């Protein structure tokens, strides 16, 4: 907290200013993040940027309403996913991977077919 603004912050929000501007806000921002992203994004793709985006959101609110508060750092632990949801998620990932493999195999088969046609055409021309 900035010394020169500490008195004003406590006067405005009492000594529990941290509940209002940090803890409650963290809960709200995490809910916002999770509700606007998929499980894949929350757990894997965007988890690495969560700390920084949460810090920025907290600081932005503090700059507007409680300028005495300075957010230094935020660290979020990985969420615990219920086993049934984790199992469903893993099953979907397995199916998605199988589908990607089939698509790659299909592309490879098409390329091989193209090459065979070109080779046949070259043989016919010679």
Domain hosting 39: range is 1-78
C-alpha span between 126 and 123 (Å, rounded): 5
Domain check: are 70 and 96 in the same one?
no
C-alpha span between 62 and 21 (Å, rounded): 7
Residue 9: alpha-carbon gap to chain centroid: 32
The DSSP line for 5-16 is: HHHHHHHHH-TT
Residue 63: alpha-carbon gap to chain centroid: 25
Domain check: are 32 and 53 in the same one?
yes
Q: Over its length of 126 residues, how does the chain's per-residue pLDDT go in tens digits?
A: 566 677 777 777 677 777 777 788 888 888 988 899 888 888 888 888 888 889 998 888 877 777 777 888 888 888 788 888 888 888 888 898 999 999 999 999 999 999 999 999 998 888
Q: Please check whether residue 69 is in contact with residue 21, taking contact to mean a CB–CB distance below 8 angstroms.
A: yes
Domain check: are 28 and 53 in the same one?
yes
């Amino acid at each position: 907290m900035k010394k020169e603004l500490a008195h004003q912050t406590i006067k405005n929000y009492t000594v529990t200013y941290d509940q209002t501007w940090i803890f409650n806000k963290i809960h709200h921002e995490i809910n916002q993040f999770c509700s606007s992203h998929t499980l894949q994004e929350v757990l894997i793709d965007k988890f690495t940027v969560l700390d920084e985006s949460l810090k920025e959101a907290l600081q932005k609110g503090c700059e507007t309403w409680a300028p005495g508060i300075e957010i230094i750092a935020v660290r979020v632990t990985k969420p615990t996913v219920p086993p049934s949801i984790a199992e469903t998620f893993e099953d979907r990932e397995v199916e998605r991977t199988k589908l990607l493999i089939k698509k790659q195999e299909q592309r490879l088969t098409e390329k091989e077919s193209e090459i065979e046609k070109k080779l046949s055409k070259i043989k016919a021309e010679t």
